Amino acid sequence: MNIVCIGGGPAGLYFGLLMKLQNPQNRVVVVERNRPYDTFGWGVVFSDATLSNLRQADPVSAETISAEFSHWDDIDVHFKGVCNRSGGHGFIGIGRKKLLNILQDRCVELGVELVFETQVTDDQAIAREYQADLLIASDGINSTVRTRYENVFKPDIDPRRCRFVWLGTKKIFDAFTFLFAKNEHGWFQVHAYQFQEGLSTFIVETTEETWLKAGIDQMSQEDGIAYCEKLFAPWLDGEKLIANAAHLRGAAIWIRFPRVICGNWVHWTQPTQGKDVPVVLMGDAAHTAHFSIGSGTKLALEDAIELCESLKTSGGDLRKGLEHYQKVRSVEVLKIQNAARNSTEWFENVCRYENLAPEQFAYSLLTRSQRISHENLRVRDAVWLENYEQWFAEQTGVTSKAKVPPMLTPYHVRGITLNNRVVASPTLLYCANQGIPDDFHLVHLGSRALGGVGLVMTEMTAIAPDARVTKGCVGIWNDEQVTAWQRVTDFIHQKTDAKIGIQLGHAGRRGSTQRGWEKENHPMDADNWPLVSASALPYLPNISQTPVELSEAQMTTVIDQFVAAAKRAETAGFDWLELQAGHGYLLSSFISPLTNQRTDNYGGTLENRLRFPLAVISAVRQVWSKPLSVRISSTDWVDGGTTVDDAVEIGRAMKQAGADMIDCSSGEVSPQQQPVYGRMYQTPMADRIRNEAGIPVIAVGAITDADQVNSIIAAGRADLCALSRPLLSDPAWVLHECARYGWETRWPAPYEYGRQQLVQSLKSR
C-alpha cells in the first residue's frame, strides 16, 4: 500500500515504522510541519504496561526507548506540609524530543519517508501527490483534517476548567510528584517528574477562576513563570522554571485542556476519480486523555499498534480492517477517557478536598480515576496501605492493633455506633397486608442483620394509608403496625450486632399502583385512592392518575403525619430514621422543577421548592433525637431537572434543617430520565455532596464488592455504603466478603461451623 501520515508525532511515526515492518513493500510517507528533529514540549510519561506493548510490536525501538527512559515506582503527594509516598506504580518518563528522535531514526532505518517543514492544508492534494491508498490524520489535538470533515467525524470537544502551563526545571524529582500550594488567589498544583538526565517536567495547573484572580492572564511569560517559581520555591531548591515555547507570548503558554471524543474515526474520500481512499484519525486527532493520567502518548502508540494489527488480520480487506480498528480502539479509549474524566474533575476541584487530612488527601488522589482500587493499592505497596488502614481505623476510635479495613471500621453519630460501614438499602418488598409487616419482613430484615451489615433499613414505610406506593407496602400509621415492627427490631437487637433504621415516606403521585413485579408504576385495576403531589402532573402521561396539587392545609396534615410516624418509630425501637425525599415521591416532587410548577411560595426557585421538605425535616428533628438521614435524587437525569450542583445546595439546606446525613441516590423523578449507569456510578455525586456541602453521606448504586466499599470509605467519598441487589441475592454478603479477603469479623455463634468451612475452602483454592 501507499500510506501517508499527516503529522509526525508518536502516532504517525510509530504507525509508519510498524507498517514497514509488516511489509517492506509498503510505501510510507510521514509529512510533518516542523523541522527535522525539532519538537516542542518536555517529558512524556507512560506505564510499564505500555512499554510491554511496545516490546511486542517492535523490540528494536522499544529497547532504544528503554535505554533512554527514567523509571520510577513511587508517587509523592505534598499537601499541607506533609509528603505521603507510596510505591509500586511503575512509570516511565522520557523526553518528548528524545522519543520522537528515536522513532524518526527507526523510520529512516526501515525506509519510511520523512517529509519535514510541510504544512498540509489539503489532505486530498497530498493523497493525490503520493497516490495514497490510506491517509492517516495524526495531526494532533487541533487536527485540521478532523475539522475539515467534522460533519463525518463528529468531534465533541470540551475545554476543561483548568489552565495549565508545561514547564521544565533542572530540579530532579525522584518520584512522580504532586505538589499542592494555596495562596490568596486559590489552589495551584504541580505534576512533576524526571524525564532525562538533569531535567524534570513541571506542569503547573489551576482553575480558570484562580488563574484570573492571580492576574496571570495579564502577565508576560517571564512574570507568569516567576509567579510559579515563587509559589513553588519550597520544592525547587533554588532552581529556575524553564519554558521552551519561545514562539508564544505571555498568557498564551497557559492553555485549557480540550477533551476530544469523535463519533467516527474513518472517512472515505475520492481524491482521484474512481478510487476510494480512507482518511483515518489516530492519536490526539481522534481522542485525548488528560495528562493527569499520562495516557496521551500511550493511546497514540497503541492506536498505531491496533491499526497495524487490524489491517494485517483483515486479509487485505481495507474496509473490514478499519472497521475493526475503530470498534476495538473506541472501546479501549472510552475506558481511558472515563478514568481521565474522573481524574480531570478531581484536579479541577482540589478545593473540594482541602479539608481532608494529608493522609486521606493522598489516598483520594491515588484512587481518583477509579482504575486503582483499595486492593490494587495493596498489590502496589502493601506496607503503605496497611499504614493507611491503621491511620484510618484510629480516626474512627479503633484502639486495637488488629488490621481493620475501612469497611469494618465503626461509625458514630448521635450516640449510635454502627459496627461497620455497610447498609442494607431500603428496598420495596410489596409483601405487607394493610401496612403490617409480617414474617417475611422479619426474615428478610433479620437475615441481612445476621449476615453482618452495620445498619439494616426498612423499605419506604408509609406515614398514612394513602401514602403507600402499593397495597403491599408497609406502614406505621397505627399501633398494630408499631407492635409488628417491635417484633422485628427486638429480634435484630437481641440476636445480631446490627442497628435497624426505618425509612418514612409518602408516595405522592407515584402511589396507588400495582406491585413491582406486576405492571410497575401503573394504576391498580380497582380500588385506587386519590393522589397528591406538588403539582397536578401524572407520573406516566395518559396512564397514571393525575394528582391534586397539595394545598397548604394538606401540607400541615402531611407534616403532622411524618411527626406521628417518627414518634411511633421511636416506640417501635428503631435506631435510625430516614426520610424519603427522592425518586419522585411526594417530598421529591416539591424539589424537582420537573414536577413542581407551582407559582406560590413553594414553587419557582430552589429555595422555595425546598420549603416544604425542609419543614418536614425540621418537624421530625424536633421529636427524633437519634440519627436522621434524608434520601434524595442527586440528579433527575433529565435536561431542566435537578442537577448535582443543586444537590450540593440541597444537602447544605437539609443539614441546616437537622439532617445528619444525605443518602445520595438519583433518578426516578421522571420517566423521561436518561441515566448513565456503571460501577459505582452515583458515588461521584455522594463525593461532591459530602465534601462540598460538608455533610456526611451514604453512597448507593452499583456497589457490588468489598474492594469498592473500602475504596469509597477510605477516600472520604462517603461515610456509609448502601447495597440492595447484592444483599437480595446474598443476605450474608458481608460475612462472605470478609471470609474472601481474610478479615476477622464476628459471625453468629450458630453459624460458626459454616464460617470454618468457608474459610478453609477459600484457603484451599
Calpha distance 590→613 (Å, rounded): 7
- DSSP states along 467-483: G-SSTT--B-SSHHHHH
How far is it, in rounded angstroms, from Cα 473 to Cα 386? 45
Element spanning 661, H or E: strand 661-665
Q: CA 260, CA 87: separation in Å to the nearest integer?
A: 31
Closest CA to 96 of 31, 33, 46, 171: 46
Q: Which residues have C-beta within 8 Å of that of residue 240, sequence separation ≥ 6?
A: 169, 170, 229
Identity of residue 465: P
The DSSP symbol for 573 reads: T
d(CA 53, CA 300): 12
Would you say 498 and 492 are in contact if contact means Cβ atoms under 8 Å apart?
A: yes
Task: Please check whether residue 288 is in contact with residue 40, taking contact to mean a CB–CB distance below 8 angstroms.
Answer: no
* CA pair distance 309, 336, nearest whole angstrom: 20
Give me the half-sphere count of Cα atoms (radius 13 Å) on the Cβ side of residue 300: 28
Sheet arrangement for strand 275-281: 113-115, 27-31, 2-6, 134-137, 275-281, 266-272
Q: Is 585 part of the annotated catalytic residue set?
A: yes
**Torsion angle of the four alpha carbons 29, 34, 40, 44, in this order, in degrees rounded to the nearest 10:** 0
Query: Could you say which DSSP state residue 172 is in?
Result: P
Cβ contacts of residue 275 below 8 Å, gap of 6+?
Answer: none
Q: Tally the residues of the chain.
A: 765
3-state secondary structure of 523: strand
One-letter amino acid at 504 equals L
Query: E strand or H helix at 662, and its extent?
Result: strand 661-665
**Contact (CB, 8 A) for 343 and 293:** yes
- Write down the catalytic residue from 325, 585, 677, 681: 585
Q: How is residue 327 written as a grid cell?
A: 470498534
Residue 75 backbone phi and psi in degrees, to 5:
-120, 130
Q: Which residues are catalytic?
A: 585
